[in-house]
Copies of this chain bind each other. A is one copy, B any other.
Amino acid sequence: MLVRELPEHLGRAVTVCGWVQTLRLQRRMQFVLVRDHSGTVQLAHRRGGQQDLLEQELERLTPESAVRVTGRVVADDAVRLGGLELVPEAVEVLGRAEPRLPIDAHTGPEQRLDWRFLDVRRRPQAQLLFAVQTTFEAGLRAFAQAEGCTEMHTPKLMGSASESGAEVFELGYFGRSAYLAQSPQFYKQMAIAAGIDRVFEVGPVFRAEPSYTARHATEFTGVDVELAWTAGVEDVMDFEERMLTHALALVAERHGAEIREHFGVEVTVPQLPFPRLAMAEAQQLLRAEGWDPEGAKADLDPEGERRLAALVQQRTGHEFVFVTHYPAAIRPFYHARSAQQPGLTLSFDLLWKGLEITTGAQREHRHEVLLRQAAEKGLSPEPMRHYLDAFRFGCPPHGGFGLGLARVLMVLLGLESIREAVFLFRGPNRLTP
């Protein structure tokens, strides 16, 4: 039985499993707080003297031991925890904790990561994080399935280094090399070429970049969507904004109050449509406000993204903004180009409160154009042969996006670092626990 169910069992005998939170062993009474993921309950035992085996068991308890307690639920208005306590009849230690815990309330962030399991277990907001993640993901998936998406699992092992020139992880593979996929990009497009009209995938992506920021990881969970027969990139943005709104509404409904309590953040369901702003306009806006690092730049840096988001929020009240029409020079070769302005791509980033959470685009689906765009970027077609082949036999127009799950959670819960938004963080300096 869960602690939160105890009020319904006043006067009855129950069994509760959980962890020893605090021990107060007084002269006449022994008080033990026991916590499960739903709440905390106080055990109250009156010492019975030398023959009292339960007294001895309680005396030997250590904080964070896993215990199973059988006892009677009694009302006691003096107890803060729901006005009830448990008078124990038996306490069984199922997993004994060593008496000295390696972390406490004063432990720094890196050492807390070393003992992540204890840190998560002892902090209700960390527990809540994973409940929110589960709900958010369920909301994304429910939307995707209602829209006719097929859930795919594409390989993470690739025969040649994927898409961009960015660093990839290389591994030994039966006497040759394999590479870890930096995204399901190529394979989800292959699924489109395979006649799977709408692709949804959730899976790990790997980035061998030595980035040491609060928003980068070498392995993270990507949510990927790819849609066939799109008329243009607007279809992709429409899909994403509706998908996010659906999932955030579910989070607000199920966890809004807890999120407010534990993170001090209000979950607001965004209005549709999200604001859209071409990169050129975004830069003009920022320059008009005095942001002009190193003269004219094609891209936005993190500071530019934050400022832009603040400006958009000021003007529209919206926390999200799609930045569109990135110059071709700073986008991958497979992004489709504007027919009117061939120097611009039909692509976008989605910023939420100034953090980039998505990159998306209409894809170039014509084989000859794709070859030309790859050549312009100085890419050799040979390592990408299998990818390029998918466009030779009737590939429909399509577009899609990738969403970083942990980045969404960072913004949603107001976390300062992506390290706090995942269960076990992986970075250039961290491969453990």
Tell me which of A121, A155, A396, A433 has the highest count of chain B C-beta atoms within 10 A of its own C-beta.
Answer: A155
Specify which of B101, B194, B389 is in contact with A121 (CB 8 Å cutoff).
B194
Specify which of B66, B127, B180, B197 is in contact with A395 (CB 8 Å cutoff).
B66
Kindly state whether residue A53 has any CB partner on chain B within 8 Å.
no
Q: What 0/1 readout, one digit per residue, does chain A (402-415) give for beta carbons within 8 Å of chain B?
A: 00010000000000
Would you call A204 and B153 a contact (CB within 8 A)? yes
Would you call B193 and A157 a contact (CB within 8 A)? no
Q: Which of A39-47, A324-332, A418-426 contacts B (4 or more CB under 8 A)?
A: A418-426
CB distance from A391 to the nearest CB of B (A): 7
Q: What 0/1 readout, one digit per residue, does chain A (168-187) give for beta carbons within 8 Å of chain B?
A: 01111110001010000001
Nearest residue, chain B, Cβ from A118: B393
Kindly state whether residue A298 has any CB partner on chain B within 8 Å.
no
Give chain B residues whose Cβ lies under 8 Å from the Cβ of A221: 153
Kindly state whether residue A195 has any CB partner on chain B within 8 Å.
yes
Cα–Cα, bound, A201→B217 (Å): 20
Q: A127-B195, A193-B121 are in contact. Are A95 and B395 (CB under 8 A)?
A: yes
Number of interface residues of A (CB under 8 A): 95
Would you call B423 and A392 a contact (CB within 8 A)? no
Specify which of B19, B20, B194 is in contact with A195 (CB 8 Å cutoff).
B19
Q: A171-B180, A173-B431, A196-B130 are in contact. Are A97 and B65 (CB under 8 A)?
A: no
Give chain B residues whose Cβ lies under 8 Å from the Cβ of A195: 19, 36-37, 120-122, 127
Nearest residue, chain B, Cβ from A198: B37
Q: What 0/1 readout, one digit per residue, does chain A (350-377) give for beta carbons within 8 Å of chain B?
A: 0000000000000001100000000000
Kindly state whether residue A218 has any CB partner on chain B within 8 Å.
yes
Would you call A219 and B17 a contact (CB within 8 A)? no
User: Which residues between 1 and 44 of chain A lie within 8 Å of chain B, taking CB atoms?
Assistant: 17, 19-20, 36-37
Tell me which of A101, A195, A433 has the highest count of chain B C-beta atoms within 10 A of its own C-beta.
Answer: A195
Give chain B residues whose Cβ lies under 8 Å from the Cβ of A149: 134
Nearest residue, chain B, Cβ from A119: B194
Would you call A101 and B204 a contact (CB within 8 A)? no
CB distance from A278 to the nearest CB of B (A): 26
Nearest residue, chain B, Cβ from A126: B194
Query: How many identical chains are in the complex?
Result: 2
Give chain B residues whose Cβ lies under 8 Å from the Cβ of A395: 66, 95
Kindly state whether residue A232 has any CB partner on chain B within 8 Å.
no
Q: A172-B170, A196-B130 are in contact. Are A157 and B389 (CB under 8 A)?
A: no
Kindly state whether residue A349 has any CB partner on chain B within 8 Å.
no
Given A130-B152, A203-B203, 10 other A-B contacts at CB below 8 A? A17-B229, A95-B394, A96-B394, A127-B196, A153-B221, A157-B218, A169-B173, A171-B180, A187-B423, A190-B423
- By a beta-carbon cutoff of 8 Å, the part of chain A in contact with chain B is 17, 19-20, 36-37, 62, 64-66, 68, 94-98, 101-102, 115-118, 120-122, 126-127, 130-131, 133-134, 137-138, 141, 145, 149-159, 169-174, 178, 180, 187, 190-191, 193-197, 202-204, 206, 208, 210, 218-219, 221, 228-229, 365-366, 386-387, 389-397, 405, 422-424, 426, 428-429, 431-433
A-B contacts, 23 of them at CB < 8 A, read A66-B396, A66-B397, A95-B396, A98-B392, A98-B393, A120-B194, A120-B196, A121-B194, A131-B150, A134-B145, A152-B423, A153-B405, A154-B424, A155-B204, A156-B204, A156-B219, A157-B219, A157-B431, A170-B172, A174-B208, A174-B429, A178-B431, A187-B423
7 shortest A-B CB distances, which residue pairs? A386-B433, A159-B431, A121-B195, A171-B171, A97-B394, A120-B194, A117-B194
